[in-house]
Amino acid sequence: MIARRRLTLLRHAMPEIDPLESPSAWRLSSAGVVAASALSINGTLAISSPETKSVQTTALALDLDLEAIVRDPRFREVDREERVHDGFREARRAWIAGRLDGRHHTWERPDADAQRFHEGLIAHPAEHVIVGTHGMVLTAWVVAQGLVAPGEEAVAFWESLRFPDVIELSIPLLRVRAALTDADGRHVLIKRTRPGQEPYWTAPGGGVALSDASPEDALLRELREELGAEAEIGPVLFERAIDGIRSERFYRARLISMEQSARSGPEFDDLERGTYDIEAVTDDDLDALDLRPAELKDLLSRRAAPRR
């Protein structure tokens, strides 16, 4: 089993709002200083967004000098041009829910924010990493990792965050997939076609959400969302590291029923992500497919090979 580490995500405390200054320069309010000081976090590596309120929160929470905090701009808040007006929170809710419109034409996309945040995490390996950051970019990242469902659940997660708030995670974050076979012994796969790229095939599955009771429950949920399927989950086949932050566990599974019209995954609503087609293939078909990851193709091919 892959060894686990700790990740602490720290949403900054309440700043003193100064309309004459950039939000990146806002300092903590007196109440924010008290709240951040009360957190009392210990860890081996403290990193922060360069924004003043985040650096202050991280330093106070760990009882460190400001100079001891590593700054990484990849953990900054969403880049955007925004006036604080009567509708600004509704514009933020729409962005978090993935409902981008004319209000967001100067804003970074949620997937771009989540990607730079993830690259920042990979760049700072340690047994326990503490990251001082911001509510919107933090939410974009947990949604991208499958920890929180997109749409209104993401909005509810963001609105539940306090000033400050602490989220403790075990890393690598676990993703689960099914080596799924139907009643005829065929492999039930997802054919992924991204715009401008050659298609590839992969096993159905996804991230283990914070609300899932177990990895197996997460896999059953993902199979319902991606395939409209019910399945019987069998033993673990293998687990592999994806990067320093994510791992992927593959289960043997048997298809019980499938109704494609019941598919409900959020990925089907984003045309920029391409298509997700369900295909059932035989053992003889495997060699011709770009089946990812390679470990899965090797495993299925070995099982399909005739015994001598």
Q: What is the pLDDT of residues 158-201, one digit of tens each?
A: 999 999 999 999 999 999 999 999 999 999 999 999 988 999 99
User: Which pTM was predicted?
Assistant: 0.92
User: What pLDDT does residue 305 have?
Assistant: 58
pLDDT tens, residue by residue, 83-116: 766 689 999 999 999 999 999 999 999 999 999 9
Q: What percent of the chain has pLDDT over 90?
A: 86
Q: What percent of the chain has pLDDT over 70?
A: 94
- Please, what is the average pLDDT of the chain? 94
β strands within the chain, DSSP E? 5-11, 45-48, 70-71, 128-133, 165-171, 173-181, 187-193, 200-202, 205-207, 229-241, 246-258, 275-281, 291-292
User: What pLDDT does residue 302 have?
Assistant: 80
Asked if the peptide bond before residue 15 counts as cis, ω within 30 degrees of 0, the response is no
Residue intervals in the chain for CATH 3.40.50.1240: 5-171
pLDDT band at 44 (very low <50, low <70, confident <90, very high): confident
Residue intervals in the chain for CATH 3.90.79.10: 174-304
User: What pLDDT does residue 196 have?
Assistant: 87
Helical H segments across the chain, by residue range: 30-37, 52-62, 88-97, 110-122, 135-144, 152-160, 215-227, 294-304
Higher pLDDT, 218 or 264: 218
Of the options 3.40.50.1240, 3.30.1360.10, 3.40.50.720, 3.40.50.1820, the CATH number for the domain spanning 5-171: 3.40.50.1240
Residue 308 has pLDDT above 60, yes or no: no
Domain 174-304: what homologous superfamily?
Nucleoside Triphosphate Pyrophosphohydrolase (3.90.79.10)
Closest of 212, 167, 175 to residue 2, by C-alpha: 175
Residue 1 has pLDDT above 70, yes or no: no
